[in-house]
């Protein structure tokens, strides 16, 4: 008896829309538009209220991982190559975006961005860490708490990557649940972004893997947004 395999189904667009793009491009446009509408209707507090239980569970997961890891982290790095924009132009846009009262450009970069902005504790981020919705803060650039970055194996030469930022990822109670080290170096055509994230060693490998994908999506979209704002 032979196994009968179902042939793969393919669908191609032969005619109709006059604009460029594939069916996948159309779907992505409409998905983003729908998501932006829901974010706008719910607002910051509405999203926090809606996700309160998810955040509580996600933060409990990160807190346990941090406790079980006893200060040990594993790292992964996503590398992006940008053309047509300098790292200085991009980082100026990022600084302005985080300082602005309008968080939409930050949220729009990834479907799993729920809340972003700066408050008295630091830069707050509510997003997925792997399958978990978490609320954490980033901060401490240039302080003694960031001394770990000076000895990080992922640290790149200052001569090639002069723009560097490092941060702890911490919960509202101060528990450090991760780290970030992002490094930028200009090239003849634009810049290279070297984006490293650290999670407690007790975090499953898939959590790290998904955040490397998360980095790729959000930073690609932020770079595109920064270029569009410049134009």
DSSP string, 12-31: ---SS--SS--HHHHHHHHH
User: According to the model, what pLDDT value does residue 142 have?
Assistant: 57
Segment 178-184 shows an average pLDDT of 96
* pLDDT tens for each residue of 93-117: 999 998 888 999 999 999 999 999 8
pTM score: 0.92
Residue 190: phi, psi to the nearest 5? 170, -115
Instruction: Say how far apart CA 188 and CA 192 lie, in whole Å.
Output: 10
Instruction: Say how far apart CA 114 and CA 44 lie, in whole Å.
Output: 8
**Closest by CA position to 65, among listed 171, 213, 189:** 171
* pLDDT tens for each residue of 188-221: 999 999 999 999 999 999 999 999 999 999 999 9
Instruction: Name the token pair of 219.
Output: 């930073």
Instruction: Say how far apart CA 87 and CA 56 lie, in whole Å.
Output: 36
* pLDDT tens for each residue of 112-157: 999 998 888 888 999 999 999 999 999 765 566 678 898 999 999 9
For the chain, the average pLDDT equals 93
């Amino acid at each position: 008896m032979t196994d009968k395999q179902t042939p793969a189904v393919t669908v191609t667009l032969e005619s109709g829309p006059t604009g460029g793009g594939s069916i996948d491009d159309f779907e992505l446009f409409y998905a983003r538009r729908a998501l932006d509408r829901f974010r706008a209707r719910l607002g910051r507090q509405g999203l926090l209220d809606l996700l309160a239980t998810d955040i509580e569970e996600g933060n409990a997961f990160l807190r346990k991982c941090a406790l079980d890891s006893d200060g040990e982290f594993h790292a992964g790095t996503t590398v992006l190559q940008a053309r047509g924009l300098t790292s200085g132009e991009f980082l100026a846009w990022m600084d302005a975006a985080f300082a602005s009262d309008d968080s939409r450009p930050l949220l729009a970069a990834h479907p799993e961005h729920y809340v972003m902005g700066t408050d008295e504790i630091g830069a707050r981020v509510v997003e997925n860490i792997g399958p978990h919705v978490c609320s954490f803060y980033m901060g401490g650039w240039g302080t003694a708490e960031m001394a770990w970055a000076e000895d990080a194996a992922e640290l790149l030469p200052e001569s090639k990557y002069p723009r560097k930022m490092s941060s702890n990822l911490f919960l509202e109670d101060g528990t450090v649940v991760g780290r970030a080290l992002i490094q930028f170096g200009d090239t003849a055509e634009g810049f290279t972004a070297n984006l490293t994230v650290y999670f407690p060693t007790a975090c499953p490998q898939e959590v790290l893997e998904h955040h490397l994908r998360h980095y790729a999506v959000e930073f690609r979209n932020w770079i595109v947004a920064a270029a569009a704002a410049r134009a």
